[in-house]
């Protein structure tokens, strides 16, 4: 069609409708691309928080082991600094059928009202047992 307009001496170009359709398609594609980028950034941030939370939980479990104390059944809470952030942890100590083992469940949050970033379960052996 464009070759025909050149041969006949008519001005060639896109119609207003063709331009509007192209711009609409471009706007939809760019919108989808921006949303995907935002979703990806949020996912990466969440993964980073869960990874750091897991490291805090694992470190706290190792601290309990190094203390060499025999904890009573119950809950213990505290906070600590890790990777430039304040983390809140809660440890639940439960007896087990083996009298020389205590089950420890650690939950870690990055803020008081936030979701649990990591949950870790481990066991402590009675010192000298």
pLDDT(9) > 80: no
Percent of the chain at pLDDT > 70 equals 91
Domains in the chain: boundaries: 13-125
Confidence of residue 37 (pLDDT cuts 50, 70, 90): confident
For domain 13-125, the CATH architecture is 2-Layer Sandwich (3.30)
In degrees and rounded to multiples of 5, residue 37 shows phi and psi of -65, -40
Mean residue pLDDT of the chain comes to 90
What integer pLDDT is reported at residue 128 of this predicted model? 79
Confidence of residue 42 (pLDDT cuts 50, 70, 90): confident
pLDDT(95) > 90: yes
Cβ atoms of 82 and 55 closer than 8 Å = yes
């Amino acid at each position: 069609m464009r070759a025909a307009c050149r041969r006949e001496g008519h001005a060639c170009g896109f119609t207003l409708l063709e331009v509007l359709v192209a711009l609409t398609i471009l706007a939809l594609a760019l919108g989808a691309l921006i949303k995907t980028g935002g979703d990806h950034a949020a996912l990466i941030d969440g993964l980073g928080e869960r990874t750091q939370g897991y490291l805090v939980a694992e470190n706290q479990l190792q601290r309990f082991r190094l203390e060499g104390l025999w904890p009573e059944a119950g809950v213990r809470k505290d906070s600590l600094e890790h990777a430039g952030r304040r983390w809140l942890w809660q440890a639940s100590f439960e007896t087990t059928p083996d009298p020389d083992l205590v089950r420890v469940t650690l939950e870690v949050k990055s803020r008081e009202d936030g979701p649990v970033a990591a949950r870790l379960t481990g066991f402590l052996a009675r010192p000298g047992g």
